[in-house]
Structure 1
Amino acid sequence: MATREKSKGTRALTRERIVETAVRIGDTESLDTLTVRRLAGELGVGAMTLYSYFRNKEEILDAMADHVLGGMEVPPAESDDPVELLVGCGRAFRAMMLAHPCVVRLLSTRVTDSIDALDGAMEDVLARLETAGLTGAEVTRAYGVLITYALGFSGYQTPRTWGDDAEARRQRRHFYAGLPADRFPSTVRHSEELPTLASLEQFEFGLRLIAEGLSPSTGRD
């Protein structure tokens, strides 16, 4: 039975299936647990079979980044207000990172030249920024600020589960409030709000500040 399952898996195997499985492992567990042997086992094939599709794990990681970035979508604009257009781009980056947590580390460790990736995560965003009224170097600078803000926030939020979890947030408030007041007077004073640093509310707060600062409608010189 095991032999037949492996044979069936081999016949159905494609690069796309390999990459989708790798992304699922990276998203639900971590890139550290993603090995060629683990991936092959998940697919029901031998490790050597994967080497006929990818030369090594690095190529698999590159393909994962291409797959996730290529699937990014910038939702239709709900307003022609420049600030809202910029906010929408930042939210699109964040939505991609929420859907695929593995991309945070992938973007921090590799560069992609994939046509699909550039189309989904770059061309569409640059076009939206132009629609917002940005021109020349402003477009690329705004793009850089938005993607690195979303990337940095996502990396900060990932291990801090209390951001949008009421019970975890309550426990974190209790932790901050319980610190020695003589050594941490400011921390104790702000213990009620500190756990919100990893929340969606905080992301939106920072994103709107950035959008307002970048928007040509603010009258910047």
Structure 2
Amino acid sequence: MTDADHTGAGDPRRTIELLWGVREKPRRGPKPKLTVDEIVTAAIEIADTEGITSLSVRRGAEKLGVSPMTIYTYIHSRAELLDLMMDRVHGELTDPPASHDWRVTMTVLAEDAWEMYHRHPWMLQLTTGRLPLGPHTFAKHERELKAVDAIGLTDLEMDAVVAMVNGFVQGIARGSVESASLVRRSGLTDMEWWTASAPVLAEIPEADAGLFPLAARIGQAAGETHGAASAPLHTFRFGLARILDGVEQLVTGGSGTSGTELPS
């Protein structure tokens, strides 16, 4: 992964002005051939269909039928473009239905993000230590904080809960996307792969199921239930519910909350 695959790696002033449309204000001279919005749309289409590694200024120019130098007139670097793309995709996320149950709201937001990552799997290949400082990314964060506002958490706890849920969704979604990609590349479903592997494994004495009784029993139960070696959606929903259980316990002051204080 190169430095260009980090969000927040572009020139701060230029990137923020692009994100907020400051550089889209009318200017004198000939009518521009393109808009930043058109460039970002083309870039997202390339990343969605060809993968993030195929994305370049040259490839974007080719798709739009212009020269690379024309693209550079609007966006100076791939790093700036990545921030614009991520912020645009965050704009696909919407306000959840009104609910008085914070758990319902957090679940809806997490499910929405899960689907977003599966529509745009390239987002999971970006390092996001510095999220884009754009309007859609701010709106996403505001919705998430609002979901846990006034439920009994401190500001720092609210911030940590949102970060924890986001990290969980992103991590499980990455595994789900990678699993689907492996099926496409190998031409085998998980069950087909296991059917082909199990007889060979059975020939190796060191891999006898009797030596690993828990793995054999639970693996069989999971496989029969899910019809696959893994079930990312089940893991996502089960894990999310357990995380929210923990937050609820923190809010209600139940047992096991000692040690949750954040360092100053």
TM-score (norm 1): 0.80
Q: Distance in 1 between matches of 2:181 and 2:221?
A: 12
Q: Distance in 2 between matches of 1:109 and 1:41?
A: 31
Q: Give unpaired runs (5+ residues) of structure 2.
A: 1-30, 258-264
Instruction: Name the residue aligned to 2:254.
Output: 219
Cα 1:155–1:214 change in 2 (3 A) is same
Shift in Å, 1:128:
1.1
Instruction: Name the residue aligned to 2:105.
Output: 85
8 Å Cα contact 2:117-2:124 kept in structure 1: yes
- 1:27-176 matches, within 5 Å, as 27-77=48-98, 79-108=99-128, 110-119=130-139, 121-130=140-149, 132-161=151-180, 168-175=189-196
Q: Answer with 1 or 2: which has the greater Rg.
A: 2
Q: Secondary structure of 1:171's partner?
A: helix
Q: Secondary structure of 1:210's partner?
A: helix
Cα 1:144–1:218 change in 2 (3 A) is same
Q: Give unpaired runs (5+ residues) of structure 1.
A: 1-9
Q: Distance in 1 between matches of 2:42 and 2:179?
A: 26
Shift in Å, 1:211:
1.3
Name which of structure 1's ranges 123-132 and 170-179 shifts more when overlaid on structure 2: 170-179
Q: Distance in 2 between matches of 1:219 and 1:163?
A: 42
8 Å Cα contact 2:172-2:235 kept in structure 1: no
Q: Check if 1:19 corresponds to 2:19.
A: no
AA paired with 1:96? M
Cα 1:41–1:205 change in 2 (3 A) is same
8 Å Cα contact 1:22-1:34 kept in structure 2: yes
8 Å Cα contact 1:164-1:199 kept in structure 2: no
AA paired with 1:213? G
Root-mean-square deviation (Å): 2.9
TM-score (norm 2): 0.68
Q: Distance in 2 between matches of 1:206 and 1:163?
A: 23
The percent of aligned pairs where both chains have the same amino acid is: 27
Size of the aligned set, in residue pairs, is: 209
- 1:181-220 matches, within 5 Å, as 181=202, 182-184=205-207, 185=209, 186=212, 187-189=215-217, 190-191=219-220, 193=222, 195=228, 197-215=230-248, 216-217=251-252, 219=254
Cα 1:164–1:196 change in 2 (3 A) is farther
Q: Secondary structure of 1:13's partner?
A: coil
Shift in Å, 1:31:
0.9
Q: Distance in 1 between matches of 2:201 and 2:118?
A: 36
